[in-house]
C-alpha cells in the first residue's frame, strides 16, 4: 500500500490563540513577539498584520515601521504549549505515527489507520472540524502521497484550508512553473544562489539537475528529488534524544558590560537547562557558551565534561568558558549541553560513586540562589517554578539588569 500522509498546520497559531481568548483582538493587526521599543523579532502575527507586510522572524523595529497601529504582545508559551497538547491529542487519534514539527504543526501517517485515500480525506476533514469545534481554532490540512507533497498541500489554501495531492504527477503538475522556493527546503539564501545561476523555477531544477547538485551538494540532490516529486521518507516520531543539544539563551534590551552580572545570568540559564534536560531524562557530555557582542558578532565556545545535567556543573563550565573570551559589550548570552545521551547509557565518573555529591550540589545551588536573591532583592526560593517559564525568566533578568 502506498503511503498516505497528512500535514496539519495551525493558522497564525499564537495570534489565533490570543484572539480566541480575547475577542476584542479579532480583525486587528496583532503582532506576537517583542514590543516595539525592545530588541527582538516577530514570532507570528495575525493575517491582518500580514497585509502590512509583517511576517515571522522580522525585526520588531521593521514590523513597527510597517504597522505602527498594530497591537504588540509578548508570547505566552505556557498557554501555547497547553493548547498544543490538546491539538496533538485530537490529531493523533487518526494516525499510526505522528511526527511533531512544532507546537502547531505535525505530519500524520494514516496509511494503516485509513487504508484508503477516501477515508484519509475524511480524517483530514474531521481534524479540521474537531479543531474548530473543540478548540475554536482553525488549521490547514494537506493530504498527499509524501511528506513534501503533504506540506505543499497544507500551504495551498491557507488559512483554514484543505487540499489533496494524490500522486507524484499531480504534485509536479502543480508546482512545475512556480519559483524554486515553493519547495520547502529552499530558503531565501538557497533561492538566491539558484537564481544567480539562472535556476528560477521548479522546471529549471528538473532541466538542470547536475547544476543544482554542483551548486548545493547533498542538499541539491534532495531538492532535485523534490522537484521530481520523489520523497519516500517515513513519518518518524520525534524523540528527545535525537536533539543535538539542550540550551537556553537571552537577548538583553541594552548591551551588558558587567561580566559579574553575566555570570549571574549564566547561573539562571544553567538551572533552566537542567530543568529541560531532567524533563526528558537526558545528560550532556559537553557544555557550550554562546555570546553575541554589541557589533552582532557571535562566538560559541565549548568543552567536554563528565556526563551531567547538573546546573552547578553547567554553570561552572560556562563561567570558565566566559573567562576565556574577550570582554566587550554583550547583546546575547546562552549556555547548554551537547553530546546528549539517556540515563541508561550514562557513563559514570568517579564523582558519581560518591553518595553525597547530589546533596552537595543541591546545597550549593540553594546557597547561590540565596546570594542572587539578596543581591537583587528577589525571592527566588518561592518563585523558582514560575521564573523558568520563558517570558518570566526574560523579565526577571531584565529586572536584575536594571537593579544590579
Q: Say which DSSP state 107 is in.
A: E
Q: Please, are residues 377 and 403 in contact by the beta-carbon 8 Å criterion? A: yes
DSSP at 319: H
Query: CA 182, 185, 189: angle at the middle one, nearest 5?
Result: 90
Query: Which phi and psi angles does 67 have, rounded to 5°?
Result: -135, 70
Catalytic pick from 105, 164, 317, 368?
105
Find the helix or strand (DSSP H, E) in which 401 lies.
helix 390-403
Q: Which three cell numbers stand for residue 12?
A: 497564525
The C-alpha cell that represents 73 in the structure block = 504582545
Which residue matches cell numbers 513519518? 235
With 0-12 / 13-18 / 19 or more C-beta atoms within 10 angstroms meaning exposed / middle / buried, residue 130 is middle
Question: Going by C-beta distance under 8 Å and a sequence separation of 6 or more, which residues neighbour residue 43?
Answer: 14, 32, 33, 56, 75
Q: Which three cell numbers stand for residue 38?
A: 525592545
CA separation for the pair 68, 28 (Å, rounded) = 12
Cβ distance 61 to 82 under 8 Å?
no
Closest alpha carbon to 143 in 115, 177, 176, 109? 109
Q: What is the dihedral of CA 56, 59, 61, 64, to 10 degrees?
A: -10
In angstroms, rounded to a whole number, what is the distance separating the alpha carbons of residues 261 and 269?
Answer: 13
359 is catalytic: no
Compute CA distances 28 → 24, 31, 41, 158, 187, whole Å: 9, 10, 19, 18, 29
| Catalytic machinery residues | 105
Amino acid at each position: 500500500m502506498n503511503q498516505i500522509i497528512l500535514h496539519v498546520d495551525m493558522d497564525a497559531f499564537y495570534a489565533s490563540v490570543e484572539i480566541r481568548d480575547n475577542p476584542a483582538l479579532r480583525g486587528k493587526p496583532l503582532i506576537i513577539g517583542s514590543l516595539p521599543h525592545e530588541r527582538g523579532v516577530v514570532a507570528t502575527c495575525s493575517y491582518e498584520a500580514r497585509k502590512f507586510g509583517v511576517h515571522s522572524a522580522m525585526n520588531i523595529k521593521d514590523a513597527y515601521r510597517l504597522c505602527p497601529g498594530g497591537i504588540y504582545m509578548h508570547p505566552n508559551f505556557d498557554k501555547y504549549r497547553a493548547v498544543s497538547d490538546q491539538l496533538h491529542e485530537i490529531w493523533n487519534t487518526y494516525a499510526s505515527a505522528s511526527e511533531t514539527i512544532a507546537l502547531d504543526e505535525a505530519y500524520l501517517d494514516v496509511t494503516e489507520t485509513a487504508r484508503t485515500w477516501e477515508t484519509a480525506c475524511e480524517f483530514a476533514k474531521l481534524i479540521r472540524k474537531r479543531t474548530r469545534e473543540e478548540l475554536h481554532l482553525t488549521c490547514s490540512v494537506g493530504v498527499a502521497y509524501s511528506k513534501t507533497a503533504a506540506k505543499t498541500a497544507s500551504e495551498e489554501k491557507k488559512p483554514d484550508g484543505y487540499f489533496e495531492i494524490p500522486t507524484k504527477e499531480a504534485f509536479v503538475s502543480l508546482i512545475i512553473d512556480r519559483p524554486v522556493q515553493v519547495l520547502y527546503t529552499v530558503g531565501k539564501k538557497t533561492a538566491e544562489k539558484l537564481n544567480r545561476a539562472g535556476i528560477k523555477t521548479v522546471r529549471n531544477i528538473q532541466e538542470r539537475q547536475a547544476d543544482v547538485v554542483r551548486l548545493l551538494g547533498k542538499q541539491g540532490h534532495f531538492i532535485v528529488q523534490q522537484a521530481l516529486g520523489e520523497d519516500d521518507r517515513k513519518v518518524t516520531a520525534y524523540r528527545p534524544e535525537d536533539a543535538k543539544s539542550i540550551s537556553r539563551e537571552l537577548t538583553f534590551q541594552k548591551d551588558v558590560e558587567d561580566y559579574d552580572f553575566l555570570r549571574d545570568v549564566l547561573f539562571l540559564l544553567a538551572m533552566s537547562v537542567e530543568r529541560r534536560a531532567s524533563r526528558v531524562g537526558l545528560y550532556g557530555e559537553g557544555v557550550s557558551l554562546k555570546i553575541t557582542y554589541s557589533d552582532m558578532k557571535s562566538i560559541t565556545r565549548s568543552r567536554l565534561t563528565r556526563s551531567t545535567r547538573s546546573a552547578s556543573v553547567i554553570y561552572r563550565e560556562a563561567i570558565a568558558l566566559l573567562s576565556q573570551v574577550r570582554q566587550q559589550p554583550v547583546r546575547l548570552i546562552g549556555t547548554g549541553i551537547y553530546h546528549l545521551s539517556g540515563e541508561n547509557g550514562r557513563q559514570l565518573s568517579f564523582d558519581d560513586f560518591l553518595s553525597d555529591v547530589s546533596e552537595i550540589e543541591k546545597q550549593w545551588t540553594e546557597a547561590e540562589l540565596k546570594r542572587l536573591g539578596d543581591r537583587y532583592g528577589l525571592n527566588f526560593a518561592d518563585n523558582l517554578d514560575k521564573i523558568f517559564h520563558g517570558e518570566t525568566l526574560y523579565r526577571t533578568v531584565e529586572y536584575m539588569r536594571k537593579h544590579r
